[in-house]
């Protein structure tokens, strides 16, 4: 056999095409990074050139003008609490559905999975009206509740898959050694399903971090806005402060990009397993 | 062991929080939403009067609703078809190469995890009438169109622009799903076909495509629901200008009718739009599942 590698024309074409795609995906992000350092006249004059001087103060201005510090804290607060609650409530429900023996387990699963198909928009108005009555509008907890509910189906779904894959013998031997059901869950199954938890956690966090519609509707107080809402405030009907907007965009997407770079393989695998099993 | 797992009390403790949340935050509001859709909301007294199908007949005559419906359906078809073609193409190419597969995959998937609001602002600048891409075009002597501010045509130019931006952002998702399915196909099938003299394109047509078909159904229903829900990107790119530009989609129209400072607080009408949205979602999922229902092949 001829071991020498022949470079086929088709392979070259594929690589050229994919490299073009790479440019199409990376160029806007690189460009925004560069533009965020430009002064305002320069943005209008030479939007695509290399910045003549790096104006780091743009970031400080954007941070102050957009109140991004508060927005960031609000986003963190909402997302972290939602994350923790989703993990705990979701995996408990998943464990009961996947491993415990009761007649209505299947029905409970279907009930929860219906939530995957229903768009948030349809419960927007009733929730808004109800929350206004019980003092949850303009309150970060009013965001956490719906976020939590809409994050649960995916979590339950993926975690149920992980719990099912735990071998029966393991649980039986634990049971022999006098393990209670709570110990079985918290000491054995929970740690074993770490990968699943990690994946659902990341997905929940990213999804809620980016959510705009609910945050826009439920919170009107400036001090309680989340990051995506704060971003849209940079565009007003009369003018847009591009020199502040671009740094703000960077501030909003850099954390996600960092997390994505660290865990991209897990995120990607997790998203696919979630959908494939459906 | 069996006794342990049949403990009713424990089951209740484990499942109750999730089920209670679902009932309170999802299912009761859905019911309420359907009821509100049949009511007229009186702002002054904050009360609801039952008016039957009045909101729906009003919507049927509403020109903005027609535009929103048209735009949403355009998004639906465009994203289903374009994501299928681009997603499959990218997946097929990526599974055929070995070097750099992860790099390409991760980069193309990246925009899916980024905030649509942020990316929308970025693209809005790039498609700005004076700066952005037009500035670049001007340097080579072409006067670019007004991109986001053209209002001519049945499907206006901004619609196309935003549809392509949405494709750019979300095609990674479809690509991932197809890749997962394609890499699950056994290599021996391909080897057998090559021995029988099949070319790569033939192998794709007669092996890959039929075996990917079940995934097309899944990916396409996800796309369909996603494109009907479409809100973030269009809101970030156009803000409150959607009405003047005739660029409303169902979600933005719902938002404006229910909550914007100008249109404000027509909860009944907005709920009716919500009902239309849900019905469309269910209908689209049902049709797609009918179209792509196949027996699962042994792989």
| Domain spans in chain A, listed from the N-terminal domain onward | 9-57, 66-233
A238 at interface of B, judged by CB pairs closer than 8 A: no
Q: For chain B, state the CA radius of gyration.
A: 24
Tokens for B169? 């952002």
Mean of pLDDT values over A62-78: 88
- Chain B residue numbers touching A146 (CB-CB < 8 A): 25
Q: Which pLDDT belongs to residue B70?
A: 92
Residue B124, sorted as left (phi over 0), alpha (psi -120 to 50) or beta, turns out to be alpha
The candidate with the shortest Cα–Cα distance to B272, out of B55, B74, B20, is B55
Residues B111/B168, Cβ–Cβ less than 8 Å: yes
Q: Give me the helices (H) in chain A, please.
A: 9-35, 40-45, 57-65, 68-98, 105-117, 121-133, 140-164, 168-176, 181-183, 190-192, 194-210, 213-218, 227-232, 242-276
**What CA–CA distance (Å, rounded) separates A21 from A59?**
30
* B227 CA: distance to closest CA in chain A (Å): 11
Q: How confident is the model at residue A6 (pLDDT cuts 50, 70, 90)?
A: low
pLDDT in tens, A114-169: 887 788 888 888 898 888 888 888 889 989 999 999 999 888 988 888 888 888 88
CB–CB contact A123 B33 (8 Å)? yes
Task: Number of A to B CB contacts under 8 A, please give it.
Answer: 265
- Give the start-to-end residue ranges of the domains of chain B: 63-291
Residues 6+ away with beta carbon under 8 Å from B139: none
Q: Which pLDDT belongs to residue A77?
A: 93
Q: How many CB atoms lie within 10 A of CB A252?
A: 26
CB–CB contact B180 A272 (8 Å)? yes
B54-61 vs B267-291: helix axis angle to the nearest 10? 80
User: Looking at the partner chain, which of B11, B126, B254 has a beta carbon nearest the beta carbon of A102?
Assistant: B11
pLDDT in tens, A200-251: 888 888 889 999 889 988 888 888 889 888 888 877 666 667 778 888 889 8
User: Looking at the partner chain, which of A100, A231, A256 has a beta carbon nearest the beta carbon of B5?
Assistant: A100
B225 at interface of A, judged by CB pairs closer than 8 A: yes
Name the closest residue on chain B to residue A235, using Cα atoms. Answer: B239
A254 at interface of B, judged by CB pairs closer than 8 A: no
CATH class of the domain at A66-233? mainly alpha
Per-residue pLDDT of chain B (299 residues; tens, 9 = 90+): 677 777 888 888 899 999 999 999 888 998 888 888 888 877 767 778 788 888 888 888 888 899 899 999 999 999 999 999 999 999 999 988 888 888 898 899 899 889 888 898 888 888 877 777 777 777 777 776 777 777 777 778 888 888 999 999 999 888 988 888 888 888 888 888 888 888 888 888 888 888 888 888 888 988 898 899 888 888 888 877 777 777 888 998 888 888 876 656 788 888 999 999 989 988 998 899 888 876 555 55
Assess if CATH 1.10.10.60 describes domain B63-291.
no
**What CA–CA distance (Å, rounded) separates A84 from B101?**
34
Please give the C-alpha separations between residue B168 and each of A168, B88, B162, B249, in angstroms, as whole numbers: 45, 14, 10, 19
Q: How many CB atoms lie within 10 A of CB A29?
A: 18
Report the DSSP pairing between strands B47-50 and B39-42.
Answer: antiparallel
The candidate with the shortest Cα–Cα distance to A98, out of B9, B21, B3, B5, is B5
- Chain A residue numbers touching B11 (CB-CB < 8 A): 96, 100, 102
């Amino acid at each position: 056999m001829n071991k020498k590698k022949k470079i086929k024309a088709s392979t070259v074409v594929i690589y050229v095409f994919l490299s073009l795609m790479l440019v199409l995906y990376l160029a806007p992000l690189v460009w925004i990074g560069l533009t965020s350092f430009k002064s305002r006249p320069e943005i209008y004059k030479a939007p695509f050139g290399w910045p003549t001087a790096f104006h780091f103060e743009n970031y400080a201005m954007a941070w102050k003008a957009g109140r991004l510090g508060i927005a960031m804290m609000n986003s963190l607060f909402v997302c972290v609490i939602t994350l923790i609650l989703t993990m705990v409530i979701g995996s408990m429900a998943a464990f009961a559905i996947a491993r415990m023996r009761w007649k209505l387990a299947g029905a409970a699963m279907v009930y929860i999975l219906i939530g995957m198909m229903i768009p948030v928009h349809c419960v927007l108005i009733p929730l808004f009206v109800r929350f206004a009555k019980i003092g949850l509008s303009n309150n970060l907890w009013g965001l956490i509740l719906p976020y939590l509910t809409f994050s649960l189906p995916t979590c339950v779904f993926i975690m149920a898959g992980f719990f099912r894959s735990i071998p029966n013998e393991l649980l039986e031997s634990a049971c022999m050694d006098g393990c209670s059901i709570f110990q079985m869950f918290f000491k054995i199954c929970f740690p074993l399903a770490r990968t699943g938890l990690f994946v659902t956690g990341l997905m929940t966090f990213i999804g809620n971090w980016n959510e705009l519609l609910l945050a826009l509707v439920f919170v009107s107080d400036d001090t309680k806005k989340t990051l995506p809402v704060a971003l849209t405030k940079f565009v007003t009907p009369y003018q847009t402060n591009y020199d502040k907007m671009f740094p703000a965009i960077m501030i909003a997407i850099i954390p996600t990009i960092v997390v994505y770079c660290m865990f991209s393989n897990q995120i990607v695998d997790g998203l696919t397993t979630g959908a494939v099993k459906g | 062991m069996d006794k342990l797992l049949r403990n009713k009390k424990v089951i209740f403790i484990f499942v109750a929080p999730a089920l209670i949340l679902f009932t309170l935050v999802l299912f009761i509001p859905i019911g309420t939403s359907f009821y509100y859709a049949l009511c007229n909301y009186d702002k002054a007294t904050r009360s609801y009067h039952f008016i039957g199908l009045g909101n729906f007949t009003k919507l049927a005559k509403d020109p903005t609703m027609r535009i929103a419906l048209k735009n949403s359906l355009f998004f639906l078809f465009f994203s289903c078809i374009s994501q299928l073609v681009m997603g499959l193409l990218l997946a097929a190419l990526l599974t055929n190469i070995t070097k750099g597969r992860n790099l390409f995959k991760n980069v193309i998937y990246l925009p899916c995890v980024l905030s649509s609001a942020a990316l929308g602002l970025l693209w809005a600048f790039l498609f700005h009438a004076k700066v952005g891409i037009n500035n670049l075009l001007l340097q080579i002597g072409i006067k670019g169109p007004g991109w986001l501010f053209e209002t001519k045509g049945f499907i206006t130019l901004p619609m196309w622009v935003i549809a392509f931006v949405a494709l750019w952002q979300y095609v990674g998702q479809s690509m991932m799903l197809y890749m997962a399915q394609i890499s699950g196909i056994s290599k021996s099938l391909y080897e057998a076909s090559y021995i029988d003299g099949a070319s790569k394109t033939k192998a794709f047509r007669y092996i890959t495509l039929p075996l990917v078909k079940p995934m097309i159904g899944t990916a396409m229903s996800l796309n369909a629901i996603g494109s009907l829900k479409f809100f973030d990107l269009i809101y970030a790119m156009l803000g409150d200008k959607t009405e003047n530009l005739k660029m409303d989609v169902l979600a933005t129209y719902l938002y404006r009718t229910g909550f914007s400072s100008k249109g404000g607080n027509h909860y009944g009408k907005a709920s009716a739009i919500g009902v239309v949205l849900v019905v469309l979602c269910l209908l689209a999922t049902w049709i797609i599942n009918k179209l792509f229902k196949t027996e699962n092949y042994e792989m």
